Structure 1
Amino acid sequence: MRIAVTTPNGNVGHHLTRMLVRAGIRPLLLTRHPESIAAELAPYVDVAEADSQDAAQVVAATRGVDAIHWVDPSVMSDDPLTDYARATDALVAAVTENRIGRVVFQSSIGAEKRHGVGEIDGLAATELALDALDIDVTHLRCGYFFSNVLLDPESLRAGRLTTVLPVDAPMAWVAPRDIAEVAALTLLNREWSGRRVQAVHGPEDLTWARVAALLTEELGREVVVERISDEQMRQGLLEAGMPEAMADAVLGMSTGMREGFVPEQERTAVTTTPTGLRGWVREELVPALAATR
């Protein structure tokens, strides 16, 4: 089975690539920067240069592929939803022209709303486009990545987290490695068919207050969380260099799921994954903070 992986250096992709290699698969890695693939992987992978928003490049790179793990790349953009649409068009063209029969799509909790969830609206549109094709497709509706706390490492070092969500509202938090594991198992499992939605909820729902408390315990210094206004969040994103449309799309991912949102998929043995926040902090956050000091 020929499996292609997009964003192979991403939070999920770098785990997924190594899992497939360990499973005896020689994955095809699609990337805009082939030189960025780790040298240690070179004997075990094939690499194709392709921009996920360029249909011609994606079609050319995926000839002979049987299955693909697809990520709509989030890039700094003046028009992020149009970029998502271009990525969707590239995927649909590749699946159609190359007769790729199986897709595992990295989506998000909130995509079931279809509209009003910022950047996630782009993922919802990809889901709908894939559902319209005569293929086997699994949408991985993922919770909030643990790794998102590293988006602002300086604030984290200073002991401050910010959110526009209620700090005592529980939601699904998940380790990117667990998403990669579900993706790998889904790609390798030949028993499923048709359209599937597979939520990836992590081991437990966490509040922002609980996250701050766990970080305080594990990092050995106080970490507090502050709920800020939507406008404060937007201004902070703009000051960080985001274009207005991008800032609005990022903010919308939180505000669109703030009032009474309940994920379509319940927490069950199927949607629950094992890696807890405490373990992730020890294994990944602490080394990452040291590396970016």
Structure 2
Amino acid sequence: MIVITAPTGHIGSQVVQGLLEAGAPVRVIVRDPARLAPGVADRVQVVVGSHRDADVVGTAFDGADAVFWLVPADPRASGVDDAYSGFARAGLEAMKGVGRVVGISALGRGTPVAGQAGYVTATLAMDDLIAATGVPYRALTMPSFMDNVARQAGPIGSTGVFYGPTRPDLRAPAVATRDIAAVASRLLVDETWTGVEEVPVLGPEDLSSDEMAATITDVLGRPVRYQQIPVADFRANLVRNGMSEAMAQGMADMATAKNDGLDHGVTRTPENSTPTTFRQWCEEVLKPAVL
């Protein structure tokens, strides 16, 4: 039995589909079963609740061969440590009884800025707590997601501009969530691995935001440009949109760390490069969203 947390999110929902297509038995933890993808509820075991609840996790993890662990960081949390390690503490004891855990993490460990990287620093601390339980653990360490660009499909379509705090000329890895899900699914069904390791998932190439804009322009057939916004303004926008001061600062710290090389600590290899190019993702995901 494979347990999936956050099964309605971008990554978790694709992990569920991948496992079901492979014929694996799946159990999900979900607050609202109605939010599961059509047809999924009838093909999986459903435990209703949050994986921040120790009783829910204890029930869901009972007899589990593997667990997919993803923390949906609460944008209104009191701080990044509470959003990650605080959330995970309820599940740590239950993890000791499962066969293996695959978690969603982030690049940055070992870089000079890893200790001041907001969300990423908190994520790495959570990984350490999971590893300390003794459960075999694979932390999938990711750069930024291509899919984050789709959140700005509206501005791209209406004004031809997308925004962010990243330096426009900074070339960095980016990965499609469907490739993350594929790696996670493969590890979840593989019963041969043990121990604790980080597994970088880098996408196929490094691109700058300006290069992404050029690709989007080509795919959409209309001019699109990237506009950098100051980190302070980025933080203020998050607060205006309902994020707590502490979590907004965590996002700002992560953005600053990425500009300072957070995602450049891992050498790209064929093993850690995934197949979906940014152009392919634009054609198959972003273009339909914009149009």
If the length of structure 2 is used for normalisation, what is the TM-score? 0.93
Unaligned runs of 5+ in 2: none
1:232-279 CA-partner distances (Å, limit 9, x unpaired): 211222222222112111122211232244544310011000001111
CA–CA distance in structure 1, aligned partners of residues 109 and 74 of structure 2 = 19
**What letter is aligned with 1:205?**
D
1:40 counterpart residue number: 39
- What is the 5 A alignment of 1:26-105? 26-81=25-80, 82-96=82-96, 99-105=97-103
1:4 counterpart residue number: 3
1:109 counterpart residue number: 107
2:128 counterpart residue number: 128
Tell me which moved more, 106-115 or 46-55: 106-115
1:137 counterpart residue number: 137
CA–CA distance in structure 2, aligned partners of residues 223 and 257 of structure 1 = 23
Deviation at 1:214, TM superposition (A): 0.7
2:206 counterpart residue number: 205
Q: 1:74 to 1:156 in 2, by over 3 A?
A: farther
Answer yes or no: is the 8 Å Cα contact 1:79–1:245 preserved in 2: yes
**What letter is aligned with 1:140?**
L
Answer yes or no: is the 8 Å Cα contact 1:72–1:84 preserved in 2: yes
1:17 counterpart residue number: 16
**What letter is aligned with 2:14?**
H
How many residue pairs were aligned? 287
Deviation at 1:22, TM superposition (A): 0.8
CA–CA distance in structure 1, aligned partners of residues 122 and 164 of structure 2 = 22
2:229 counterpart residue number: 228
Deviation at 1:112, TM superposition (A): 4.7
Deviation at 1:110, TM superposition (A): 2.3
2:268 counterpart residue number: 267
Unaligned runs of 5+ in 1: none
Q: 1:36 to 1:260 in 2, by over 3 A?
A: closer
Q: Is the partner of 1:282 in helix, strand or coil?
A: helix
Q: Is the partner of 2:116 in helix, strand or coil?
A: coil
Show structure 1 runs of 4+ deviating over 4 A. 111-114
Q: 1:288 to 1:94 in 2, by over 3 A?
A: farther
Q: Is the partner of 2:39 in helix, strand or coil?
A: helix
Q: Percent identity?
A: 31
Q: 1:14 to 1:212 in 2, by over 3 A?
A: same
1:23-68 CA-partner distances (Å, limit 9, x unpaired): 1112111111112112312332111112122222212222111110
**What letter is aligned with 1:30?**
I
Deviation at 1:111, TM superposition (A): 4.6
Answer yes or no: is the 8 Å Cα contact 1:216–1:222 preserved in 2: yes
1:285 counterpart residue number: 286
Answer yes or no: is the 8 Å Cα contact 1:78–1:244 preserved in 2: no
CA–CA distance in structure 1, aligned partners of residues 91 and 254 of structure 2 = 23
Answer yes or no: is the 8 Å Cα contact 1:80–1:119 preserved in 2: no
1:168-218 CA-partner distances (Å, limit 9, x unpaired): 111110000000010011111122211111100001011111111111111
Q: Is the partner of 1:177 in helix, strand or coil?
A: helix
CA–CA distance in structure 1, aligned partners of residues 57 and 290 of structure 2 = 35
Tell me which moved more, 220-229 or 14-23: 220-229
Q: 1:261 to 1:123 in 2, by over 3 A?
A: closer
If the length of structure 1 is used for normalisation, what is the TM-score? 0.92
**What letter is aligned with 1:103?**
V
2:156 counterpart residue number: 156
Deviation at 1:283, TM superposition (A): 1.6
CA–CA distance in structure 1, aligned partners of residues 3 and 129 of structure 2 = 19
Tell me which moved more, 198-207 or 253-262: 253-262
**What letter is aligned with 1:222?**
P
CA–CA distance in structure 1, aligned partners of residues 101 and 77 of structure 2 = 28
2:190 counterpart residue number: 189
1:78-137 CA-partner distances (Å, limit 9, x unpaired): 4142121222202212213xx012000110112555521111222111111122122211
